[in-house]
Amino acid sequence: MNIGSIATAMITPFREDGSIHFEMVSDVVEHLIANGTDSIVVCGTTGESPTLSHDEKVALIRFVVKTVHNRVTVIAGTGSNNTQASIDLTNEAEAAGADGIMLVAPYYNKPNQRGMYEHFAAIAQSTTLPIMLYNIPGRSIVNIQPQTVLQLSKIPNIQIVKEASGNLDQMTEILAGAPDGFTVYSGDDGLTLPLLSIGGAGVVSVAAHVVGNDMQKMVKAFKEGRHEEAASIHQALLPLIRALFATPNPSTVKYALTKLGIGSEYVRSPITLLTDEEKSAFDDVWQEYEKKQI
């Protein structure tokens, strides 16, 4: 599965009453494609997947696939802490035309490594779609250990791991032992450049909603050997990336997008809208970023 250098974990725009605003979903898709996104992840955590119903996820996947119309890769977040439910949603995502699926580590249940292997292997066996594993111990509590990732990488349709452990040593271990064609992507915007430097392929990004083109410039500079330029862009991006995650995701990135005339601020409980003070704090960082020449 080719997802390029930058995949964006897309927000889900809502109306004030909490329903999905499909017209705005279309606007967000067009914005992302025009601003540096190589592929789109729909129904990920940034899309507020924990508060989307099964039927809403299926409708959203179908809509995004239709809107994208083969212009970029569409990856559907179908993982959960329920193996059978993940299989069911995966089957519907495949029928809807998704190009691949993303499977988060089973959260809350706290399975051991054998349990996680069996969970992912069972879902992989149920589909022909390429699979991206998603390791995010800060949210799921469990860490998919490198040896488990490497064991899973032997399953033909498990082709990518999105690593959001923040542990570059762990990522290095996976890269050193992975078979040809298995790739590692950062799940943290701020580790995009460090991961590229040890052999990673790119990032599944939140910040790309607003700075996708600048992130592409950084990746291109690195790949073309202009490492000082890449480092300079990374340094300029980092304060903005931190500001985007100063409140629970995706409230700040939704607010940031509205400054560009895209989407809506509305989020589903238990995520909350930004306060005026939080907006002001982000505005200050945004203004400083706009002054920089990237």
Active site residues: 134, 162
Cβ pair 11, 253 in contact under 8 A: yes
Q: Which of 8, 5, 1 is nearest to 44 (CA)?
A: 8
Q: Which of 67, 28, 60 is nearest to 256 (CA)?
A: 28
Cβ-proximal residues to 293 (8 Å cutoff; 6+ apart), any chain: none
- Copy the structure tokens of residue 106: 């089973």
CA–CA gap between residue 280 and residue 75 (Å, rounded): 34
